[in-house]
Amino acid sequence: MAQKLAFKVADISLAEWGRKEIDLAENEMPGLMALRRKYGPSQPLKGARIAGCLHMTIQTAVLIETLTALGAEVQWSSCNIFSTQDHAAAAIAKTGVPVYAWKGETDEEYLWCIDQTIVFPDGKPLNMILDDGGDLTNLVHEKYTQYLDGIKGISEETTTGVHNLYRMMREGKLKTPAFNVNDSVTKSKFDNLYGCRESLLDGIKRATDVMIAGKVACVAGYGDVGKGCAQSLKSFGARVLVTEVDPINALQASMEGFEVTTMDEACKEAQIFVTTTGCKDIIRAEHFGHMRDDSIVCNIGHFDCEIQVAWLNENASEKINIKPQVSRGTIQEALTCQAILGRIKLCILSPLESYRVCYPYPPHLHMKIINSV
């Protein structure tokens, strides 16, 4: 059996740069720093072997070093093929923590990276899971069932992963304790609401450099993520339309000054579309035909089922790559649809860097923007 790599990152020479940014991020994450001061001496996580599958960003680096400061052994992969900040991964790998993550992984490499976090260098398996989206949880339940009895628990970071856990529980397939981080107040407000409010426009502007003011934007869904996105677009001068099936959320949107409409109507008017629902087929083939030229279609979430990407792939007559992970595709002779990010599956945080908030749990924005290529 081949010896396991100690780590695999894009460029270990980026570690010094990553360390400087980690030092800055520590000031923005006082909750984690307080945990280090209070519990570091007692080492409450001693004996924990934590496998993490979470965006390998600067803020996640602060989390990883908090876990190790409290006594845990940690191995890490990213939950997304495009979200890794390579300097953050290098900085953590430099400390001796096994990190398997780099920006631009293939789907096969992504699964390989997760697989490397299962067994630790001493031959002992993981006994705790820190997951974002459920891929690590599913891998252990499907491929490494021999380790399930030794796992103390799973923490799940995002809505998609929480839905996955509830589904597994209903089907009798969840074999370890698990707790829902996503629905905690600090996570749902700081990440879903305030985090997305900061990062949505950062991602769009890094990818396209378009002016938001004066444009019409459509936000599908008015939960915490939708609220943050709508506020962000409005603050940049866009006129925001909201589509929402929940009557209370729709009423909130109306009372907060947004026009509530349907996607059938919004597709004819908006120039920027952001889906935030976590549901399926929100923007469909029939909507693309009504969109204005150079429309930007975005999904802010963990997976891409809200937009019918397969139809876009099949019907784009011309595809032009503008820069890494930013493409522009012509759908009809008179209609061009801009797309942010060059891949469909698991493409979070690519054009943007990340956001920093005074948040006691690691910020890890789910910024995924669907492409049309």
**Max Cα–Cα distance, the chain, nearest Å:** 66
- The residue-averaged pLDDT of 205-215 equals 91
**Band of residue 316 on the pLDDT scale cut at 50, 70, 90:** confident
Answer whether 348's CB lies under 8 Å from 82's CB: yes
Pairing of strands 272-275, 216-220: parallel
Report which of residues 300 and 331 the model is more confident about.
Answer: 300
pLDDT reported for residue 325:
67
The angle formed by the CA atoms of residues 308, 156 and 353, to the nearest 5 degrees, is: 65
pLDDT per residue as tens digits for the range 4-27: 999 999 999 999 999 999 999 999
Mean pLDDT of the chain: 86
User: Tokens for 12?
Assistant: 């270990």
pLDDT reported for residue 336:
56
d(CA 264, CA 268) in angstroms, rounded, equals: 7
Annotated binding-site positions for substrate: 57, 132, 157, 187, 191
pLDDT per residue as tens digits for the range 61-90: 999 999 999 999 999 999 988 889 999 999
Judged against a pLDDT cut of 70, whether residue 302 lies above it is answered with: no
Q: Which of 212, 330, 334, 194 is nearest to 270 (CA)?
A: 212
Helix 196-208 × helix 224-235 angle, to 10°:
60
Judged against a pLDDT cut of 60, whether residue 188 lies above it is answered with: yes
pTM of the model: 0.81
Lowest mean pLDDT among 191-205, 264-278, 321-335, 353-367: 353-367
User: Tokens for 357?
Assistant: 């908030």
Percent of the chain at pLDDT exceeding 70: 87
Phi first, then psi: what are they for 8, rounded to 5°?
-145, 110
Judged against a pLDDT cut of 60, whether residue 352 lies above it is answered with: no
Sign, CA torsion 35/36/38/41: positive
Judged against a pLDDT cut of 50, whether residue 364 lies above it is answered with: no
Report which of residues 278 and 35 the model is more confident about.
Answer: 35
pLDDT per residue as tens digits for the range 232-291: 999 999 999 999 999 999 999 999 999 999 999 999 999 999 999 878 899 999 998 899
Annotated binding-site positions for NAD(+): 158-160, 223-228, 244, 249, 300-302
For residue 299, the cross-strand partners are: 275, 368
Answer whether 362's CB lies under 8 Å from 62's CB: yes
Phi first, then psi: what are they for 128, rounded to 5°?
-145, 150
- The residue-averaged pLDDT of 105-121 equals 96
d(CA 227, CA 217) in angstroms, rounded, equals: 13
Sign, CA torsion 337/373/278/154: negative
In three state form, how does the secondary structure of the chain look?
Answer: CCCCCCCECCCHHHHHHHHHHHHHHHHHCHHHHHHHHHHHHHCCCCCCEEEEECCCCHHHHHHHHHHHHCCCEEEEECCCCCCCCHHHHHHHHHCCCCEECCCCCCHHHHHHHHHHCCECCCCCECCEEEECCCHHHHHHHHHCHHHHHHCCEEEECCHHHHHHHHHHHHCCCCCCCEEECCCCHHHHHHHHHHHHHHHHHHHHHHHHCCCCCCCEEEEECCCHHHHHHHHHHHHCCCEEEEECCCHHHHHHHHHCCCEEECHHHHCCCCCEEEECCCCCCCECHHHHCCCCCCEEEEECCCCCCCECHHHHHHHCCEEEEEECCEEEEEEECCEEEEEECCCCCCCECCCCCCCCCCCCCCCCCCCECCCCC
Task: Spell out the residues 6+ positions from residue 264 whose beta carbon is closer than 8 angstroms to its own.
Answer: 287
Report which of residues 323 and 204 the model is more confident about.
Answer: 204
Annotated binding-site positions: 57, 132, 157-160, 187, 191, 223-228, 244, 249, 300-302
Judged against a pLDDT cut of 70, whether residue 185 lies above it is answered with: yes
